[in-house]
Structure 1
Amino acid sequence: MPPAGELIVYRNFESDEVFSGVTALIKAERAGATGEMPAESVRRYCDCVEKMAAAAEGLGIAGSVWRTWLARLLSQRENAFALSHERRKISGGTMLRLAANDFDTLYAYMNYDFRALEKKIGVDIGGCLADFTPSSKKSENAAAAALAADFAMASSGAELMAAAEKFYEERGCGKFALYCGFRWDSHERGIVPAAPIEKITLSDIIGYEEQKKIVAENTDAFLSGRPANNVLLYGEGGTGKSSTIKAILNECAQRGLRMIEVYKHQINDLSTILDAIKRRNYKFILFMDDLSFEPSEVEYKFLKAFIEGGIEKRPDNVLIYATSNRRHLMKETWGDRADKDDDVHESETMQEKMSLVDRFGILVRYISPEQKEYLRIARALAEEYGVDASGEEFELGAIRWELKHGGFSGRSARQYVEFLAGGKKPEE
């Protein structure tokens, strides 16, 4: 059996503590070392077993914990072979032959019988390595769990490689294969998964059919490789702007859509984010929620240049979807209007402030519902939550609720129904 040191394409596996620890113990046992292994080997083996068992428990996978760990590792790690297969089919090339040799090695490791090793170091795990049973079948990551199941069916290195290629072609590789929602972490200087994400669909958002259609059609064009626009959803709070964008992600993730949430104070990091995603074979939406700027804030100038005015062309796989309570994103006061008398080039100053919103090709307005529509939303939500909405008291309670909770909106309706679903009655 080739040693782990001969891995070429998957050489970064060796930086994994469990993989390097287990393979080192396997090589020592295969080398035919005599006598008892040192206590350090026992400690290393037990540490590795603990980590592998925890991973198998989290993924909800029965069977070999070592095989589960290898599947998890392969789904997480990126390399030239994985990236070349990311959501596309590749045939031929030297990299393919190098990967084939690696999969023969990995297959041999995956099917190693740990009983010989346990006998040598004097440890009895009770067979859990080969026949682990999770307490729940509910998986923290369905993609990695599916890959582990495919690995279990492989009877050769070639079949193991075929399972990996299938995973790469359908899901991609690394974190973008395992998750669909992300956020930019300024401290880590990286894109990190945002999990779990809210499970909401467009049908869960009651009303606003035209608005949802506009956003959905633009996203469909984007995913289909047709021209698409940056989108600004603006209007009153609680009307479903952010929920619409989250629903779009849930409904389009299988088509390769990924979303990265970026906060206003992180706008200066947009170029770094772009460098990390522009060559990936996914479609990315940079999501900026509740976007607006005070007169003293100058980040809007950077965002304006980033969207359209810089020397580097915006990648075809990136769009910006933003929400705001302000149509023009910029705060304007009566004092600003009074200052116009001192501005020699008043029109140019106003154009400078308003030009950011022009970078969004599609503007979608969300207005607060009238009372009739508000009550219709509340009744529909009541049916969803199993709350009785047949009596007059339900409508009166809904109206009293909105008076104390921000007016007519889908958010107020949902909060009211959830309040009732919790078994309480609203105060008079």
Structure 2
Amino acid sequence: MTETAAGVSGRFTRPQRWLLPGDLLTEPADLAAAAPGAPGTGVRFPHPRPPRRTPRDWAVDVTLFGWSLGMWALMVIVALPTLEHTPEWIRAIDAPLGLLACCALWVRRRHPLAVALLVVPVGAVSASAFGALGVVMLSTALRLPTRRALALLAANIAVAIPYFIFCSLPEDNSGWGDIFFSVAYLLTFFAWGVATRARRQLVVRLRQDAGRERAEHARRMADARRAEREAIAREMHDVLAHRISLLSVHAGALAYRTSGAAGAHAKPLSDAEVGESAQVIRDNAHQALEELREVLTVLRGTAPGALTEAGGGRPQPRIAEIGELVAEATRAGQRVVLDQKYAEGAAEALRDQAQRTVYRVVQEGLTNARKHAPGALITVTLVGAAGQGLTVRIRNPLPVTAGAGREHIPGAGAGLAGLEERIALDGGSLLHGATNGAFELVAKLPWPAA
């Protein structure tokens, strides 16, 4: 049993979702709707509705909280007792403020700006908030617009330096290395946040591009399916309308002669004539089914050589078969004159699609004349040369009575529209209408020079 693409995708995607941050689990449409950051920075984090923490987010938050809490304990136990130059009231509030900064890390995802503003005054009087301060700088660079994040970084550095200068530096000024280390510490966490932000923005853009590509692919597939349906409709109309109209003519004549409507003077049909007419109808019905099978086989993409192997099918019609088409219409009772004004065999140089189009034009013209002007003389003229183009003209007189013949053979009324589309695809044009008491169907197709 085969697996669907969606099932395979889901099987490999679900485990990975546990390893992704919640910000990247938002759908591409939601990511595109997120508020933009500073110019050139792309999508801003967090999104309008911060997603729930994933297992990865919980692991990261617990790790960073543990880091901050460990640094807080280290500073309280080791560093605070050595700060002899720090006022007593500052040492009294140092540990509670540092612990408050550590606890505030749990809401930094939803309220990054508020937490960043909170640690500015805390960093001015608390050495034990050193670990939490680095995590806040990481979150600030990751989740706030660039300019705002830089301003908060500068503010934290600006308030931390006076604390070290006036409270923690010994008299011999040997603690400047601690100041440089602290500044480098904050800059390192800030750069870490900037790098993480850039990587996530790249992932977001790639997801958006992939979403657009999927939508474009779906649109192209829909257009291809629509074009295929239209092609099938044109081919079926061209093939079946001609063949079914012949069936209608034969069946109508047989019904007319056997119902007695022809009058007493009409000679009744013999059993042999009835059998012959039935055989003609049967042959045409079989031919209609065979041509329909050929159309569907070609439209499904079967190679031309496979048609004969699959069941004796014929290749698609060509200009050379127009004579047989006219002869078939003549046997059905139509009066048709075929006039081909070009060198014999010259049109065979046209590409196959153009030859099929010419055949369909003649077929549609004969079918329309059979429907709307029964018994009229039809003139089919093909004239052209290589480099000059090919003109196909089908002309028949208009019926004496308006609408005569329309009720005998119904049709969909879409033949000329489909024919016009087919000719347009071949780079030609189609004109049709009544002129000087006759209906003309004129198709002009390109005939490239040899």
Query: Which structure has the highest helix share of the two?
Result: 2
Q: Which TM-score applies when normalising by structure 1? A: 0.22
| Higher relative contact order structure (alpha carbons within 8 Å, sequence separation ≥ 6) | 1
Larger Rg: 2
Q: Which TM-score applies when normalising by structure 2? A: 0.21
